[in-house]
Chain A
Amino acid sequence: MLAFEEMRKSWWKILSVVCIVYAIIGGLLMPAPDDIGILAKTIRNLHFHVPMWFTMIVLLVVSYIYGIKFLSSNNLAHDTMSSSFVKVSMLFGLMGLATGSFWARFTWGTWWIEDAKLNGAAIGMLIYIAYYILRNSIEDEVKRGKFSSVYNLFAFPLYIVLIIVIPRLAETSLHPASGDTIGFSSLDLDNNLRKVFYLATVGWILLGVWIATLKYRLIELIRKNEKI
């Protein structure tokens, strides 16, 4: 059991769990537009697949900020923060790819398709896999931090262009809200999806931040132990 004072400090972690439990229950049981063409009841995947990507983007923004902070401060803790957030964001990206692929199989009829949104997301992931490889190839801590922060500086804008800008500019796409397709907001006239979706997003983003801060604290502990 957490002590009361600890619980007050961790209010956002509790909020995250409450929001996700609400999203699981509400997402499955509350009314939703269950009659939209090939989507049928899979429209409810919206509450789980989309927040994965939102979480990934938020974590990458935090990582970006700490990358810049490291470049101006040379404080290794900032670099640890930056890399931890990238690592956890990759986990969410993988969950986004996996859930998206599975969803596509039972709506579009295929696991993967040549689509600006899908390929953009895949290339975006590769960019951050390269970030890992870059980090692991440099022994010196300060140098590693500098190289990966500068890499991050260019990688993130490119990532946003790949997963948001290019898919929107594409002529055709199957994925909602890219190319010639419409987003969920125009499907949901009676706002039933919104009642779950927004809180689900908040919940998953907070959970991602929680896991990333745990990762950060763990790596910092390991680093301090190595010094002693």
Chain B
Amino acid sequence: MRKYSIILLFVALSAIAQTPVDDLLYQSGKIYVVVSILVIIFAFLAAYLVRLEKKITELEKKTK
């Protein structure tokens, strides 16, 4: 599932490059680029926390 989700991400990103979303990112002094980057950084942090959570849960089950 994780393998496919990375491929899906790239497909989605390449799709963005040719759509109206692309135009939006160039508007208003490109502030939307800043917003997107902050969201991406936070998404990675949140995903990292979820992974950590899963690992700890597994260890807890093993220790019991």
Residues of chain A whose beta carbon lies under 8 Å from any beta carbon of chain B: 1-2, 10, 13, 17, 20-21, 24-25, 28-29, 210-211, 214, 217-218, 221, 224-225
Beta-carbon contacts under 8 Å, B25-63 to A: 31-32, 34-35, 38-39, 42-43, 46, 49-50, 52-54, 56, 59-60, 63
Query: Which partner residue on chain B sits nearest A29 by CB separation?
Result: B35
Q: Evaluate contact between A24 and B35: CB separation under 8 angstroms.
A: yes
Of the candidates A25, A214, A218, the one whose C-beta lies within 8 Å of that of B39 is: A25
Q: Nearest 4 A-B pairs (CB), nearest first?
A: A17-B46, A24-B38, A217-B56, A28-B35
Closest chain-B Cβ to A212's Cβ sits at a distance in Å of: 12
Q: How far is the CA of A25 from the CA of B34 in the complex (A)?
A: 10
Residue contacts A-B, CB under 8 angstroms, 6 given: A28-B31, A28-B35, A214-B52, A217-B60, A221-B60, A221-B63
Q: Evaluate contact between B1 and A21: CB separation under 8 angstroms.
A: no
Given A224-B63, A225-B63, A218 contacting B35 (CB threshold 8 A): no
Q: Which residues of chain B have C-beta atoms less than 8 A from A211's C-beta?
A: 49
Q: Which residues of chain B have C-beta atoms less than 8 A from A217's C-beta?
A: 56, 60
Q: Which residues of chain B have C-beta atoms less than 8 A from A210's C-beta?
A: 49
Q: Evaluate contact between B56 and A221: CB separation under 8 angstroms.
A: yes
Q: Which residues of chain A have C-beta atoms less than 8 A from B59's C-beta?
A: 221
Q: Evaluate contact between B63 and A218: CB separation under 8 angstroms.
A: no
